[in-house]
Amino acid sequence: MKHPRLKYEQRTFAHIDDMAETLLHEVNEQLIRIDMGLLPNNVPSRNYAKFRLMHLQRSFGESIPLSFRSTYNSLWSQLYRLEHQCDYKHPYIKQLLIQLKNNDSSSAK
Amino acid sequence: MSKCPFHTLFNEQGAIQLFRKKNQKENEDTNLRPSTSSHVTTYYRQLLSSDRKQQVSFVRLTEEDVQRLASIRPLFAKHVERIVNVFYNQIGQIPNLRRIIDNHSTLDRLKQTLRAYLMDMVSGEIGEQYIIRRKVIGNVHNRIGLFPEWYLGAYTIIQNEVLHILMEELPPTEATNIYRSFAKLCSFDMQIAIETYIESYTSSMMKLNEIAELQHRLTESSTTLASSAEETTASIFEVQKNVQNMLDEVTTIQRQSVQMTERVEKGKEDVKQTLTKLDGVAKLIEGTKSLTNELTDSSRKIGEIVNAIRSISNQTNILSLNANIEAARAGEHGKGFAVVANEVRKLATQTEQSLDYIQNHIDVVQQTIRKFEHAFQQIVDETRAFRQANESIIHIFDQSVTDVKSTNKKIDQFTSLIGQFHQMFDEISSAASQIAEMAEQLNDLNQELTEKFNS
């Protein structure tokens, strides 16, 4: 964590802890909204949470501080759960899997 | 976190528990109570109706296996702590794994997770949600950099310890059967987790999340760019209009200034002509003044003549008086002569009177000439003052012309500057239009990218 990035979108934070608290709070709210059906469980809704977590990941680097670690890990897991609940697969991954399956079937012949 | 309106849904770690099966108390209860047969069947049917059917069949995981595992739930609850401890004792001896634990979680937290994971295996609830929970494990392992070889090896540790417990607690046949069921479920779990791990690893290897984030930022930036380009174009158009108005105004001022210079030049010419005429009048007055002098001179000469005549008249009067005296001496003979002498005296007297009259008129003429001269002098003085005033006016006109010409020069420079501004704004406007066009193209490209990413 040589140069913590204290900016997110149009906001600048005084300290990385403030940023982490705010962004984790926003991620949590977003995931709850999706779970409660207030927001659709789709890519844009999930990306709102995912990009915030990614930003924290980049900002903290290899090790997330203990004070945030549990929340941070839980929120990632919740996000993965939401992805799997709607059977989300990235379109590129889908294509790759199709290609792999096609290769398998052609080599089997 | 106190700001969160959903804080009541928050657990102590900061995540909601919606996907966890039950609350802690309920879990404790169910840990000790085997699932009912119908309960297991409901979940197992979910499994068979999902796209995992082939995998279930491949590892030969039957409803009976799940039922069998559910039946040893109390036994598992009794020994779960032992399995967890053995597992993490072994894991803790491997520096690479220890580092992953230290960087990404805590031992206590991971023990809790493993405890829940193991109890989940004997819950009898091997359905759709179970698969999702296993998938999440694959994602998490990829995120923290735990490679599959460690993941697969970890199952061996668990399976060994479970086998020890089963052999200790149950008759060999039953222990063997249960272990087989447990091994099947472990294989199923590994299939799911490894499949998700591969997907997740491929996704992170291709930086798909990062690309998606960049694409999202690109969308926002291009939208902002398009809107600001639009605003800039609108502002420039407004400024361009103002500059054009300014240019028009300055051109009008320039034209009016030239007209003013022309008028001032014309005024100067008029004043000069007036002065020339005035000079003519002055000359005429000078000429008239010399005539007046001549008149004065003539009247003076007339006066001299009058005086000469008056002298002659006086002598004539004396002569007539002498003639009268001589006529008196001559007596009778002198009477006629006396008459003549009287007549001559009368004539002299009349001449004297006429001379007085003439003299009076000459005096009047001379007075008039003096008044005339005085009036002429006043005219000359006034004309001189008028000339001086006009010369001042000409000087002012000259100064005005110089000033106006200097102002014209400045206006020319100003006009040139405004012209340059105008040209500059044209160029900026053109650049802004290009930016707007580029932003639109960027938006289109982004739209395509978004469709590809979100399809």
* pLDDT, position B2: 39
What's the rounded mean pLDDT across residues B167-196?
A: 93
Q: Is residue A5 part of a domain?
A: no
The Cα B328–Cα B341 span in angstroms is 11
- Chain B CB within 8 Å of residue A26 CB: no
* pLDDT over 90 (residue B70): yes
Of A96-100, B176-180, B362-366, B372-376, the least confident: A96-100
- Chain B CB within 8 Å of residue A20 CB: no
Query: Which residue has tokens 């272990």?
Result: B179
Give the relative orientation of helices A16-35 and A43-60 as an angle to the nearest 10 degrees: 160
Residue B142, amino acid: N
What's the rounded mean pLDDT across residues B41-52?
A: 89
Q: Is residue A2 part of a domain?
A: no
**How do residues B413-431 score in pLDDT, each as one tens digit?**
888 888 888 888 788 878 8
The Cα B132–Cα B453 span in angstroms is 23
Mean pLDDT of chain B: 83
pLDDT tier, B7 (very low <50, low <70, confident <90, very high otherwise): very low
* pLDDT, position A3: 58
Helix (H, G, I), strand (E, B) or coil at A7: strand
Q: Is residue A92 part of a domain?
A: yes
Reported residue count of chain A is: 109
* pLDDT, position A39: 96
What's the rounded mean pLDDT across residues B21-28?
A: 47
Q: Is residue A45 part of a domain?
A: yes
A80 contact residues in B (CB cutoff 8 A)? 135-136, 139-140
The beta-carbon neighbor of B213 closest among A28, A51, A91 is A51
pLDDT tier, B3 (very low <50, low <70, confident <90, very high otherwise): very low
Contact B432, B232 (CB under 8 A): yes
* A11, containing H or E segment: strand A11-12
What's the rounded mean pLDDT across residues B16-44?
A: 61
Q: Using the 8-state DSSP alphabet, how is residue B332 labeled?
A: G
> Contact B4/A29, CB-based, under 8 Å?
yes
The beta-carbon neighbor of A28 closest among B14, B132, B136 is B14
- Chain A CB within 8 Å of residue B46 CB: no
Q: Is residue A66 part of a domain?
A: yes
Query: Which residue has tokens 């099947």?
Result: B184
- Chain B CB within 8 Å of residue A19 CB: no
Count of structural domains within chain A = 1
pLDDT tier, B453 (very low <50, low <70, confident <90, very high otherwise): low
Top-confidence residue, B138 or B11: B138
- Chain B CB within 8 Å of residue A48 CB: no
A78 contact residues in B (CB cutoff 8 A)? 15-16, 19
What's the rounded mean pLDDT across residues B342-366?
A: 87
Angle at A11 between CA A8 and CA A16, to 5 degrees: 65
Mean pLDDT of chain A: 87
Of A88, A74, A89, give the one whose Cα is nearest residue B140: A74
Most confident of B69-83, B281-295, B305-319: B69-83
Give the helix, strand, coil percentages of chain B, each rounded to 5.
90, 0, 10
Mutation for B interface: A10, A74, A94, most B CBs within 10 A = A74
The Cα B172–Cα B30 span in angstroms is 26
Q: Is residue A42 part of a domain?
A: yes
Domain B12-26+34-170 of CATH type 1.10.490.10: yes
Ramachandran region, residue A53 (left: φ > 0; alpha: ψ -120 to 50; beta: rest): alpha
* Min Cα separation B442/chain A (Å): 20
Q: Is B179 exposed, middle or buried (0-12, 13-18, 19+ CB in 10 A)?
A: middle
**How do residues B231-275 score in pLDDT, each as one tens digit?**
887 887 888 788 888 888 888 888 888 888 888 888 888 888 888
Handedness of CA A101, A103, A104, A109 (dihedral sign): positive
CATH number for the segment(s) B229-314+346-454? 1.10.287.950
Q: Where in chain B is the domain with CATH 1.10.287.950?
A: 229-314+346-454
Q: Where in chain B is the domain with CATH 1.10.490.10?
A: 12-26+34-170
The Cα B299–Cα B366 span in angstroms is 7
Q: Is residue A49 part of a domain?
A: yes
* Min Cα separation B103/chain A (Å): 5
Reported residue count of chain B is: 455
Which ipTM did the prediction report?
A: 0.83
Residue percentage of chain B with pLDDT more than 70 = 91
User: Partners of B16 in the beta sheet?
Assistant: B10
B134 contact residues in A (CB cutoff 8 A)? none
Q: Is residue A7 part of a domain?
A: no
* A12, containing H or E segment: strand A11-12
B201 contact residues in A (CB cutoff 8 A)? none
* pLDDT, position A84: 92
Give the helix, strand, coil percentages of chain A, each rounded to 5.
70, 5, 25
Those of residues 27-46 in A touching chain B at CB distance below 8 A are 28-29, 31-32, 35, 42-44
Q: Please give the residue range of the domain that contains residue A19.
A: 13-107
* Min Cα separation B1/chain A (Å): 6
What's the rounded mean pLDDT across residues B307-320?
A: 87
Q: Count how many Cα atoms sit within 13 Å of the Cα of residue B21 in the half-sphere of its side chain.
A: 23
Handedness of CA B70, B75, B80, B83 (dihedral sign): negative
> Contact B199/A51, CB-based, under 8 Å?
no
User: Partners of A7 in the beta sheet?
Assistant: A12
